[in-house]
Amino acid sequence: MSWGNKILVVFIAFGSMISYMVYRCATTPVNLVSEQYYKEELAYQKVIDGTRQANALSGKLELSRHDQSIILRLPAEMKGKLTRGTIFFYCPSDITRDRSLRLTTDALGRQEIAARLLRKGHYTVKVSWETGGINYFIEQPLVIN
């Protein structure tokens, strides 16, 4: 085989490899943290204020896993108060695992969530709620085995 043919084979192999890489990049799904990330970034001051309010509470939000459920307990100041909000289970590795639930606590500030709603993995639980016109926001990690 002459050196001209060898150069031709190298160029064809290189072109094939680049074509394959372009194909793979075009068909790989890209999961953004949020489809509306710019809009959410503009409203991020609300998250900062909510975090500051939640940190000022005497207790912290508690997440615990019991058999077939996940127990969420709001701080003691929230017991018996009307709260409304959301619980967002964010899975950084797979957007299809994200879950958003309504926060509906009992008189003790507790909510039980069925563990079957979530698949195994690492989650960041983002809880935002409002009580008495004050917004609160807390993030906590959670691992489902």
Residue 137 and residue 103 in one domain: yes
- What is residue 32's predicted lDDT score, i.e. its pLDDT? 67
Interval 71-96: pLDDT, tens: 998 888 888 777 789 999 998 888 88
Residue 20 and residue 57 in one domain: no
Interval 16-68: pLDDT, tens: 999 999 999 999 887 766 777 777 777 788 888 999 998 888 888 888 888 78
Query: What separation in angstroms does the CA of 38 have from each of 28, 30, 32, 41, 136?
Result: 23, 17, 11, 5, 22
Contacts of 47 (CB under 8 A, 6+ apart): 128, 137
- Cβ atoms of residues 70 and 64 within 8 Å: yes
CATH label of the domain that carries residue 107: 2.60.40.10
Residue 47 and residue 26 in one domain: no
Quote the domain boundaries for residue 15: 1-30
- What is residue 12's predicted lDDT score, i.e. its pLDDT? 96
Number of structural domains, the chain? Answer: 2
Residue 5 and residue 69 in one domain: no
DSSP secondary structure code for residue 116 in this structure: G
- What is residue 94's predicted lDDT score, i.e. its pLDDT? 83
- What is residue 137's predicted lDDT score, i.e. its pLDDT? 93
Q: What is the length of the chain?
A: 145
As a whole number of angstroms, the distance between CA 4 and CA 65 comes to 67
Asked whether residue 103 carries a pLDDT value surpassing 80, the answer given is: yes
The amino acid sitting at 22 is: V
